[in-house]
Amino acid sequence: MDWHGLMRRGLRDLGLCPRDFWALTPIELLVMLGMEEAPVPLTRARLHELDRRYGNVTKGQTDGKCG
C-alpha cells in the first residue's frame, strides 16, 4: 500500500490532521478519496487463488502457440 501517497492525499488534498488520518481504516480513507473501486492489490491469497484457477504450465507443455 502506498502510505506516502495516501498520506499526501489525506493530509493535503482532504485537509485531514494527522490524528484524524491515522484514525481511519484503509477502506474509509479510500472511500473518502473516491478510490474504493480501485483494483484489488495482488495479495498472497489472491495469487494462490489465481494459481489454483489457472495453474502453471509444467515443463513439456505448450501454451498452444506454434514454434
> Region 22-35: what's the mean pLDDT?
90
Q: Is residue 43 part of a domain?
A: yes
What proportions of the chain, in percent to the nearest 5, are helix, strand and coil? 50, 0, 50
Residue 63: its pLDDT value, please? Answer: 58
pLDDT number for residue 46:
83
Give residue 16's pLDDT: 96
Q: Is 46 part of a structural domain of the chain?
A: yes
For residue 14, CA distances in Å to 1, 7, 9, 46, 48 come to 18, 10, 6, 31, 36
Yes or no: say if 20 and 30 are a contact pair by the CB < 8 Å rule. no
Residue 34 lies in a domain: yes
Contact status, residue 23 vs residue 4, Cβ threshold 8 Å:
no
Q: Is residue 24 part of a domain?
A: yes
* Mean pLDDT of the 1-18 span: 91
Full domain range(s) for residue 44: 3-54
